Each structure stands twice: as C-alpha cells, then as structure tokens.
Amino acid sequence: MKSISVEGSVFWLLVSAIISPPLAYYPGSPFFEPTLFLVPFLFSTMYIVIAYFCWNQNARSYIAAMVLALSVLAMNIGFGGLAYPGDELLAIAQVLAVFFSLRGYRELREVGMFGGE
C-alpha cells in the first residue's frame, strides 16, 4: 500500500504535467518564440517520467521531483512574475509537488530504502 506522500507526489507531478502546456501559451507568453516552443512539453515529459519513478518509490526520484518543481517555480516567478492568472495555479501545484516530494523522500529515508545506505 502506498503512503499519502507517494500518492500526493505522483498526483501533483501529473497535475503539473497536464496543466503546464496549456498555461504556458497565453497571449504574450515567451514560449511563443520558435526556440522555446517545446519547453513546456519537455517539462511535461520529465514530470511523467519522474512520477513513474516516484510511484516505484525510488528515493532519488523525489530529489529530482523537488529540483524540477523548484526550477519551474523559479522560472515561473522570474520570467512571468505571476502576472497571468494561470501562473498562480502552476505555482501552487509546484509548491505542493515540492512539499509531497520532500515528505516522500523523508519517509523513504527513515525506512532505510535510500540506495546505498
């Protein structure tokens, strides 16, 4: 049986994977540039891959989920400044993904499932 931190991590990673491409292409978005057009889809793919490894309870995947969510949150605040209403929704999803990933990492570390220890 999976714990709430595992299920919460996977849920918020998948929510982020689903909502990030539609929220990235608002009018005036920097992702309308030809060089940045695929960035939201690449991030969605990374979310899905990391969610799969989190579901298998790999402790390093929780660290990867935290790094990915914090980087997306930093880019969201840095580039957009939370000016568009969808930016706040994505920021909330990223904060919750970081929270549940940190909780899942701590649970796996306490149980001793961290690789190499």
pLDDT tens sequence across 19-61? 887 777 766 666 666 667 788 888 889 999 999 998 888 888 9
pLDDT tens sequence across 87-108? 788 888 999 999 999 998 988 8
State which H helix or E strand residue 99 sits in.
Answer: helix 85-111
Q: How far apart are CA 91 and CA 42, in angstroms?
A: 18
Contact (Cβ atoms closer than 8 angstroms) between residue 62 and residue 99: no
Q: Is 81 exposed, middle or buried (0-12, 13-18, 19+ CB in 10 A)?
A: exposed
Q: How far apart are CA 43 and CA 89, in angstroms?
A: 16
Q: Is 100 exposed, middle or buried (0-12, 13-18, 19+ CB in 10 A)?
A: buried
Contact (Cβ atoms closer than 8 angstroms) between residue 50 and residue 91: no
∠113-116-117 over CA atoms, to 5°?
Answer: 65
pLDDT for the residue numbered 88 = 81
